[in-house]
Amino acid sequence: MTTQTLNTSHAAGLPAGTEAAVLHGARDLRIEHRPLKSLGANDVLVEMRSGGICGSDMHYYADGRNGTNELRQPTVLGHEGAGVVIAAGTAASIAAGTAVVIEPALPCRTCPTCLSGRYNLCPAGTCFGSPPTDGLFARHVVVPEAALHELPGSIPAEIGAAIEPLAVAVWAVQRAQVQAGHRVLITGAGPIGLMVAQVAAARGASEIVVTDVNDDRLAAAAKFGATRTVNTVATPLDLKGMDRLIECSGNAHALHDGILTLAPAARATVVGQGRPTVDGIPLGFLQRYEIDLVTAFRYANAFPAAIALASAGTVDLRSIITGKYPLAAAAEALTAPVTDPTNLKIIITY
């Protein structure tokens, strides 16, 4: 299909505006008509097919803030999204009709950090759906072509939004340096933890233990590659000699207890977003056994690997999606994992 190329004005037949889920304050989400910015030379207009609900979206909706970032003006939520290209700027090369997933981070791409390849750490970077930057919960979005990754036919755009959290899992396992034969402990059986379990299995981990306090999620973990599950409310964590800890819950106690299961020269990787400061980390234990404590923030160059894993069926995207809501019901979608704890990944469809 031939690419439609546009200058900075909107072409006839293409939308000048779109419906979007706009957060005005805590629990004040409104479906509004928003103007679309004109396409720049390197921009692409995407008609959305799916948008995933993340824990950060839920925090913004419930509290008007996520961590240290606070909502200060009406903002379109959403950073997990996939759709189909319907038009492109004059310098963009992607063809109309191409199914794509959107990588939501918007780095400057010129600073030393970006040029080193670690663009996820760009000091000037922004991210779709992180206030005040408008996000992807809209019927149409204008994005830089550099933010797009083509989806193969085996991954329909209707579930393609789940690639973004899979990229988080891929990066987490990469930062954890999981290798074949490793014994891996994953704390937290939310969507990220469940995807981490599948990616760790794909890397050849010989044992994958998943902990949580929700039996429904632990049952899901058993289906997604866990060799053992532990409800830490009912059963003390009595593991020893684990090679890797990947902390996905954001719970300081889970991090502390998980570290104490590690073998000498092991590695603990913090993925879940916890409090800005955490007391009680067993520093003496870490130092005595030279255990590496590292963190993971989003991802860098992880989307191709995530797409390959999903395309091959190595990671099951469909089964992790437990609910679909139309854009008009976005507020309901943002509370679905709380009102029904059996929910895993919730998708907004268009």
Q: Do the beta carbons of residue 188 and residue 273 sit within 8 Å?
A: no
Closest CA to 268 of 220, 254, 122: 254
Q: Are residues 149 and 180 in the same domain?
A: no
Q: What does the pLDDT look like over 279-303, one tens digit per residue?
A: 899 999 999 999 999 999 999 999 9
Q: Are residues 14 and 140 in the same domain?
A: yes
Q: What does the pLDDT look like over 68-117, one tens digit per residue?
A: 899 999 999 999 999 999 999 999 999 999 999 999 999 999 999 999 99
In a domain, 192, yes or no: yes
- Residue range of the domain that includes 24: 5-159+317-349
Of 157-161, 282-286, 338-342, which range is least confident?
A: 338-342
In a domain, 312, yes or no: no
Stretch 248-271: mean pLDDT: 97
Identify the CATH number of the domain in which residue 141 sits: 3.90.180.10
The answer, yes or no, to whether residue 10 has pLDDT greater than 80, is no
In a domain, 304, yes or no: no
Q: Whole-structure pTM over 0.85, yes or no?
A: yes
Stretch 173-182: mean pLDDT: 98
| CA atoms within 13 Å, Cβ hemisphere of 57 | 32
Identify the CATH number of the domain in which residue 277 sits: 3.40.50.720
Q: Are residues 39 and 155 in the same domain?
A: yes
Rounded CA-CA distance 240/258 in Å is 10
pLDDT score for 11 = 54
Q: Are residues 112 and 195 in the same domain?
A: no
Q: Are residues 154 and 185 in the same domain?
A: no
Q: Are residues 197 and 290 in the same domain?
A: yes
Stretch 226-246: mean pLDDT: 97
What percent of the chain is modeled with pLDDT above 70? 96
Q: Do the beta carbons of residue 214 and residue 342 sit within 8 Å?
A: no
Q: Are residues 9 and 148 in the same domain?
A: yes
**Angle, CA 267 vertex, CA 221 and CA 190 arms, to 5°:** 25
Q: Are residues 68 and 179 in the same domain?
A: no
Closest CA to 102 of 40, 45, 18, 178: 45
3-state secondary structure 11-70: CCCCCCEEEEEEEEECCEEEEEEEECCCCCCCEEEEEEEEEECCHHHHHHHHHCEECCEE
Pairing of the two strands 17-25 and 75-76? antiparallel
Q: Which residues on neighbouring strands pair with residue 208, listed in sequence order?
A: 184
In a domain, 311, yes or no: no
Confidence of residue 9 (pLDDT cuts 50, 70, 90): very low
In a domain, 124, yes or no: yes
Q: Are residues 143 and 248 in the same domain?
A: no
| CA atoms within 13 Å, Cβ hemisphere of 5 | 8
Q: Are residues 193 and 106 in the same domain?
A: no
Confidence of residue 55 (pLDDT cuts 50, 70, 90): very high
What would you measure as the largest C-alpha separation in the chain, in angstroms? 67
Q: What does the pLDDT look like over 33-54, one tens digit per residue?
A: 999 999 999 999 999 999 999 9
Q: What does the pLDDT look like over 190-224, one tens digit per residue?
A: 999 999 999 999 999 999 999 999 999 999 999 99
Number of domains in the chain: 2
Q: Which residues on neighbouring strands pair with residue 323, listed in sequence order?
A: 346
Average pLDDT over the chain reads: 95
Q: Are residues 204 and 121 in the same domain?
A: no
| Radius of gyration from C-alpha coordinates of the chain | 20
Q: Are residues 184 and 287 in the same domain?
A: yes
Q: What does the pLDDT look like over 302-324, one tens digit per residue?
A: 999 999 999 999 999 999 999 99
pLDDT score for 274 = 82
Confidence of residue 12 (pLDDT cuts 50, 70, 90): low
In a domain, 285, yes or no: yes
Confidence of residue 5 (pLDDT cuts 50, 70, 90): very low
Stretch 249-254: mean pLDDT: 96
Which segments of the chain does DSSP mark as H helices, in order?
55-63, 112-115, 163-176, 191-202, 215-223, 252-259, 283-288, 303-311, 330-339
pLDDT score for 2 = 36
Q: Which has more pLDDT, 274 or 147?
A: 147
In a domain, 254, yes or no: yes
In a domain, 307, yes or no: no
